[in-house]
Chain A
Amino acid sequence: MTRRSPALALALAGLAAAVAFPLLATKVTWQNAAILMLMTAQLGVAWNILGGYAGQVSLGHAAFFGAGAYVSTLLSVKLGISPWLGMGAGAVVAAGLGVLVGTPCFRLKGHYFAMATIAVGEIVQAVVNGSDALGGAVGFNLPLGETGFWGFVFNRSKLPYYYIALGLLLATVGVNWIVNRSHVGYYLRAIKDEPDAARSLGVSLTRYKMIAMILSAGLTAMGGTLYAQKELFIDPGSTLSTGLSIKIALVAILGGAGTLWGPVLGAVVLTAIEEATRIAFGGTGRGTDLVVYGALLVVIAVFQPSGIMGLFTRRAPRPVPPPEPEARFP
């Protein structure tokens, strides 16, 4: 218990700061940046279940994100169903898609799995692009206009989006935490580090990878619905692109894949760099913002290859290969 208390206190302080932040920082730019951080963090944390704990690096998560965005949008535009229900439906569809993808692809190892997921992402994008019923390449506009909580469109203030994004992030972290502590978490780490040993001990690789996939895909889709309701416009380019898939993975890997808070940290740092460099240099048109952004990524990759989270855990005495000693006891 004594070892956990400072961590708990830190988490509570962080939560209090996150809740109070938009009330103190009333500037739209700050609130926007903060919402972007929360949304990006949520995607990174969701990706982390599959890519971090289970070690199945997916570069096709935009397909799940898009599933969430498209399902809730279609339901709300065509049938007038509340996006909150759409969010649940999107998660179910994405989880189904995840099972569909996982069934053949989990037979692939390492890089081949990552390559297969890129293909899946591209296929989903191509299918939506060519389908008139799904809006084709044009996408969908959601109606503007304040609708209150149930309609999930807020014009007057950024605060609802902020707190929804925060809530979704906490829920996603919560799922991660539960997975991490449960036997599923142990199995996933075993699958990641020593798949053959895990199998020889009777751990069903496919089954536990599939559980990670379902959770990861479903939670990513919920982030997609939030995106659609915030931007009120979706098209294949903005919700299904491979660039988005890479960003989701990047956030988690940069922050520290396979750790609880790594993806959150990665999202905060990445978004802050992105926004700050763009605001400072973007108007010049010389691409300075992207040069700075790229340079910082290289610096982090060179000096902190295990992710930014490594900065905080480095001093903790621990044997080198097995990670997460603090998670050994419930």
Chain B
Amino acid sequence: MTSPFRTFAALAALALSTGATAQEEIRIGVLYPLTGAAASTGIELKNAAQLAADLINGTDKSLGLPLAGAGGLPGLKGAKIKLVFADHQGNPQVGATEAERLIAEHKVAALQGAYFSTVTTTASQVAERNGVPFLNADSSSPALTQRGFKWFFRTTPHDELFVQNAFEFLRDLQKKKGFAQPKRIAIFAENTEFGTGAAKLQERYAKENGFEVVEKVLYPPKGTQLTSEVQKLKASRPDIVMQSSYLGDAILSMKTYKDLGFLPTALLANDAGFNDSEFLKTMGKDGNFVISREVWALDLGAKKPVIAKANALLQARHGVNFNGNSARAFTGVFALADAINRAGSTKPEAIQKALQQTNIAGADLIMPWGGIQFDATGQNTKGAGIIVQVQDGKYVTVWPFDLASKDVIWPMPGWDKR
């Protein structure tokens, strides 16, 4: 029986040594998957969040975002923001435990995280129980803001909005560019939460918008061939394929399309595998002309200089560009800092109230959004997605048209004409 207590003692020593923090800081707990399968994403998110905090704590005002260069939060006499990072390993139970630890031991004023929708679910429950604001910048499951939580705020748009965007894009093509309206849609999706959820929404919105769903194929994402699935798609003669795939199956499906000579008017992908940096590396020219929804793109910097400036800062520090995930994490820290600053206090109730009254202008964000303003469920109502197309091996923004850097290439040119 001595062994457990010895280990407890070791545990205690560790807890104490990491638990001591200065008093005049504003501590924000940040939960990301820092180890495990999504570790590389988690580290990107961590770096982006830390960059945001350092900008707010520093005195360089050149970026031009509110609070950047403020030397701490003016509403709290220049108190500095300290991000306390925790690793949830992509495990919902660990996420809940770590959230509780950050609240109890580090006395964090608010929490941010957690990228995985499943972990966000359990970690935000802990925040809700303890009455601590939870800002979610990067989980897109619609269910998260349907729980009636009072302490949960989400800055990113969720999956439903992304699906709506695709149909708005099609409508805009017809209205503003005079393209012939395609009618036949085929839905092609992997069969876990991501794909099945998106497929359901796409089916619903297709019908509401007067399209005909001619085929719906769900496939297991770990399969080694998609030949029969693609043959089914081809046989249904769709104008548009709406596809939700992870990286491996996205690449496999594209190769199969080419092998079987399947060429719809357009391929509208749902982010994920199609936007992974590995996708274009593997596909080369065959990856061109894919159209995908995105939350952010580097070429937005042409019309919104703050994006290019922020990206230069991240490049200087870590040698990587922002992407949709890290840009949202960065924005999350600014949104929290804005609320805490206006609250003028680290009391949870004051921050909660300030978050409810958040009204950040679109111009003050590095996102292509109308701004940040939360509805009663905690969802940001001014979020928006963009649509990108691969042109010459790069993702370029093609919609909304006022943010677009290039015209959309439509219909998709044949496999032999690349």
Contact = CB atoms under 8 A, between A and B. Distances in A.
Interface of A: 10, 13-14, 17, 25, 27-30, 32-33, 36, 129-130, 136-139, 141, 144, 155, 227, 231-233, 235, 237-238, 265, 268-269, 272-273, 275-276, 278-280, 282-285, 287, 289-290, 308
A283 B35 contact: no
A139 B197 CA distance: 12
Contacts, number: 133
- Chain A residues touching B, majority SS: helix
A155 B129 contact: yes
A265 B3 contact: yes
Interface of B: 1, 3-5, 7-8, 10-12, 14-15, 17-18, 32, 34-35, 39, 42-43, 46, 84-87, 89, 91-94, 96-98, 100-101, 103-105, 118, 121-122, 125, 128-129, 141, 143, 147, 191-194, 196-197
B147 to A, nearest CB: 6
A33 B97 CA distance: 8
Contacts of A237: 92, 118
A141 B121 contact: yes
A308 B39 CA distance: 32
Nearest to B84: A283
Nearest to A291: B35
Q: Lowest 10 A-B CB distances belong to which pairs?
A: A137-B193, A282-B87, A285-B34, A28-B104, A272-B7, A283-B85, A287-B35, A137-B192, A280-B14, A268-B4
Contacts of A138: 141, 143, 193, 197
5 contacts: A137-B193, A137-B194, A231-B122, A269-B7, A278-B94
B43 A285 contact: yes
A17 B1 CA distance: 10
Max chain B Cβ within 10 angstroms of own Cβ: one of A25, A155, A285: A285
Given A238-B118, A276-B14, A231 B96 contact: yes
A279 B18 contact: yes
A232 B125 contact: yes
A13 B5 CA distance: 13
Contacts of B42: 285
Contacts of A129: 191-192
Max chain A Cβ within 10 angstroms of own Cβ: one of B87, B118, B197: B87
A273 B8 CA distance: 10
A166 to B, nearest CB: 13
Max chain B Cβ within 10 angstroms of own Cβ: one of A29, A136, A289: A29
Nearest to B30: A283
Contacts of B129: 144, 155
